[in-house]
Structure 1
Amino acid sequence: MTHSFTESDLLQTAGKTVDPVFQQPLSTLRTLKEASIADGRITITVELPLYGYPQKDELTTAIQKTIADAHSDAGEVTVDYTVKVRGKDSGGSIGLKVKNVIAVGSGKGGVGKSTMAASIAYGLKELGASVGLMDADVYGPSIPHMLNVEGQPAASEPSPGVMRIEPNVAEGGVKVMSIGFFVKPDQAVVWRGPMLHKTLTQFLKDVEWGELDYLIIDMPPGTGDVSLTLSQLLGLAGAVIVCTPQQVALLDAVKAISMFNQVRIPVLGIVENMSGDVFGRGGACEKAKEMDVPFLGEMPIDAQVRIQGDAGNMAKLFDEDSSAREPLMNISQQVALGVAKKLLEGGSMPTLEIL
């Protein structure tokens, strides 16, 4: 069967389709990979810039309509999807092969920041991404316990005279690094700022993280040296602010947002943790609107989060029968979307060569 158009024509036509998530033409986003015609059937391949893209059906319908409107003899159009996470290549200047480094912070302790950092890491992994988790809370490293990972990391020598630290690997394949692997459980870390800076630098420069789509950094509470150190070392993809709904927590969350703005780390949005009768509900959502930052979702108070965290079984929160799975997956998906949107806003969405 002959057509009045070529594969190149199809790419040009499909490129006019407006992406329902990013609200820009596919030609601008450069997500069209190829078009093919075989036995009268048309296939358009789109390379999505993140796992967890939420509107595939809508995008498929939009592409099919665009082609049908432009080419009356097009016939059946199939849209296939591949995924290649895009990013700022955070840390490329110091040798990191990580596309996006994301800080998870709060203005105060006790809001479940470490729990949320671990949950976002597992959620992004569940979506299909390659993920690492770095515990930067050196004064209270809780990540090793929550992920049931222990033991001093091994050293490797990938090339003569070059020593590297191999991260430990948690259930599900999440790579993990924490000061908790190097000190006894009951040993306090009493350091001044320069020692903290040195350790964080080593965790980033000397750890063999490998190629990752996302590296999640669990920040210490408050507004201290760590954010400044990270801003000097890396071009972070963004920061997630975790808070509980009550006013006293929101006051500190505002300070955390101000801190990240001052060190020029983009704020991806606010997560409301432990929503429910005890702390109330909706405070973080209202504050996000007030400050014109995205609201990334809420995690209701759920005993399973505490139980599995205490037992070192955070991965079980993502089992199909887990009540925590849906809200945590939603938050993780919004984080991934937030990273992609920040890239687009900054004009740094890497281009894709059309084959």
Structure 2
Amino acid sequence: MTTIEDANFALQKVLDAGSQKNVIELAWIKNVRVNIPRVIVTLSLPSFANSQRDRIVQEVRGVLLDFEDIDDVQIEIDNNSSKTESQNQSNAPELQKIDGIRNIIAVSSGKGGVGKSTIAVNLACSLAKLGLKTGLLDADIYGPNTPSMMGVAEQNPKVTEGSGSDQRLIPINKYGISMVSMGFLIEEGQPVIWRGPMLNSIIRQFLYQVEWNNLDFLVIDLPPGTGDAQISLSQSVPISGAIIVTTPQQVSLQDARRGLAMFKQLGVPLLGIVENMSVFIPPDMPGKKYEIFGKGGGQTLANENDLPLLAQIPIEIPLVDDSNKGVPISISQPNKESSVVFGNLAKLIKNQFINA
């Protein structure tokens, strides 16, 4: 005879599309009552998971009806969870605005190696080319690559006059972009081993103790994953929207889903998905495109979360070579396909936040 333990074990097959955790692990199943041949399940979903409700209900019913002695599954929806969530949000600390910044765009990825920094750098360059005052904050504390990618690795930022909290860091400026990065403050190859409070402190200094000077957009290059930096930033800064970077590969999608789930739980608006390395364009055959990492991954992720696929960035040799030389392809070769795609992405972002 099917027991409550059997039912709970079976329910572990039902997964959240974002985090890929099961409904038992997420505590979305509030109660299970077994009275053969009937099972009554109380489902308690947070508001960000409401878009999955119909699917989850169907899958819960399906896994329980697989038991031979169960022929009736009743699903009760607990609406108190959304009330509790609203109360928690009303008690949350107020986000502190940053003087002189109109919009903050966070560029994130669930894992390293997907080209997140390349996206952040070229998005910032493309926004600046539209005549928008743009800043770039390299918050990837453990892998600060933007100084090298922007050709300013040898420069050192200056500090305004004053003392203590009155001092402000003056960003490095190139290509019309104001930049701050941990890479300016440490020697090349020096490891950064900060954790927790120290990490949060340096990120806050980069945000609130910098002379940003009336930016239309601040693009933030987040470290990969779902750790202290992302959580600290999302809980303390009014992010206008987050962009999730992935590749077509399935392993990249799995990590990106975790990042999406984190931003949803933190209440950060999601702008959409950028699929990097979508195709390879050989330099000797520009009319050819090879899907060397598979295809459709970005669109799949977008469809799962009811988000737009903002851009598909191809792999082009100049995209890599020029970046290594410290010149983003959006600047060096504006007619290349990847540059055009970055330009279109910047226009989408501009149109969403700046009145035409």
TM bracket, shorter-chain basis: 0.5 to 0.7
User: Could you tell me which residue of structure 1 aligns to residue 223 of structure 2?
Assistant: 220
Pairing 1:154–2:158 present: yes
User: Could you tell me which residue of structure 2 aligns to residue 193 of structure 1?
Assistant: 196
Q: Tell me the TM-score normalized by structure 2.
A: 0.66
Q: Tell me the TM-score normalized by structure 1.
A: 0.67
1:319 Cα deviation after fit = 3.5
User: Could you tell me which residue of structure 1 aligns to residue 171 of structure 2?
Assistant: 167
Cα distance in 1 between the residues matched to 2:152 and 2:210: 17
Deviations 1:36-94 (A, max 9, x none): xxxxxxxxxxxxxxxxxxxxxxxxxxxxxxxxxxxxxxxxxxxxxxxxxxxxxxx9945
Cα distance in 2 between the residues matched to 1:259 and 1:168: 31
1:161 Cα deviation after fit = 8.2
- Check the 8 A contact 2:318/2:329 in 1, yes or no: no
Q: Which amino acid aligns with 2:299?
A: C
The number of residue pairs the alignment matches comes to 251
Q: Which amino acid aligns with 1:107?
A: G
Cα distance in 2 between the residues matched to 1:139 and 1:95: 24
Query: Do the aligned partners of residues 318 and 92 (structure 1) sit closer, same or farther apart at CA in structure 2, a change above 3 Å counting?
Result: farther
Cα distance in 1 between the residues matched to 2:190 and 2:126: 31
Q: Partner of 1:248: helix, strand, or coil?
A: helix
Q: Which amino acid aligns with 1:245?
A: P
Pairing 1:130–2:144 present: no
Q: Report matched runs for 1:231-270 at 5 Å.
A: 231-270=234-273
Q: Partner of 2:168: helix, strand, or coil?
A: strand
Query: Do the aligned partners of residues 254 and 155 (structure 1) sit closer, same or farther apart at CA in structure 2, a change above 3 Å counting?
Result: same
Q: Partner of 1:201: helix, strand, or coil?
A: helix
- Check the 8 A contact 2:329/2:339 in 1, yes or no: no
Task: Name the larger-Rg structure.
Answer: 2
- Check the 8 A contact 2:322/2:332 in 1, yes or no: no
Unmatched 5+ stretches in structure 2: 1-93, 280-290
Deviations 1:119-170 (A, max 9, x none): 1101111112110000000100000000011322101138998211100112
Q: Which amino acid aligns with 1:126?
A: K
Which of 102, 107, 116 is matched with 2:105 structurally?
A: 102
Q: Report matched runs for 1:33-48 at 5 Å.
A: none
Cα distance in 2 between the residues matched to 1:240 and 1:318: 24
- Check the 8 A contact 2:132/2:216 in 1, yes or no: yes
Cα distance in 1 between the residues matched to 2:258 and 2:165: 44
Unmatched 5+ stretches in structure 1: 1-90, 341-348, 350-355
Cα distance in 1 between the residues matched to 2:211 and 2:224: 26
User: Could you tell me which residue of structure 2 aligns to residue 290 of structure 1?
Assistant: 304
Cα distance in 1 between the residues matched to 2:165 and 2:124: 33
Percent of aligned pairs sharing the same letter: 42
